[in-house]
Amino acid sequence: MAMVPSGSGGGPPVIAEVEMNGGADSGAATVRATVVQASTVFYDTPATLDKAERLIEEAAGYGSQLVVFPEAFVGGYPRGSTFGFGANISIGNPKDKGKEEFRKYHAAAIEVPGPEVTCLAAMAGKYKVFLVMGVIEREGYTLYCSVLFFDPLGRYLGKHRKLMPTALERIIWGFGDGSTIPVYDTPLGKIGALICWENKMPLLRTALYGKGIEIYCAPTADSRQVWQASMTHIALEGGCFVLSANQFCRRKDYPPPPEYVFSGLGEEPSPDTVVCPGGSVIISPSGEVLAGPNYEGEALITADLDLGEIVRAKFDFDVVGHYARPEVLSLVVNDQPHLPVSFTSAAEKTTAAKSDSTAKPY
Beta pairing partners, 191: 184, 215
From the candidates 17, 71, 101, 169, which is the catalytic residue? 71
CA 211 to chain centroid, in Å, comes to: 17
Please count the CA atoms within 13 angstroms of the CA of 128 that sit on its side-chain side. 7
Q: Are 64 and 130 in contact (CB under 8 A)?
A: no
Is 198 considered catalytic here? no
Angle between helices 45-61 and 115-127 (to 10 degrees): 10
Give SS3 for 242. strand
Q: Specify the DSSP class assigned to residue 122.
A: H
| Pairing label, strands 280-283, 241-244 | antiparallel
Give the number of other Cβ atoms within 10 Å of residue 323's Cβ.
11
In DSSP notation, 4-41 reads PPPSSSS-------PPTT-S---TT-EEEEEEEE----
Catalytic sites, residue numbers? 71
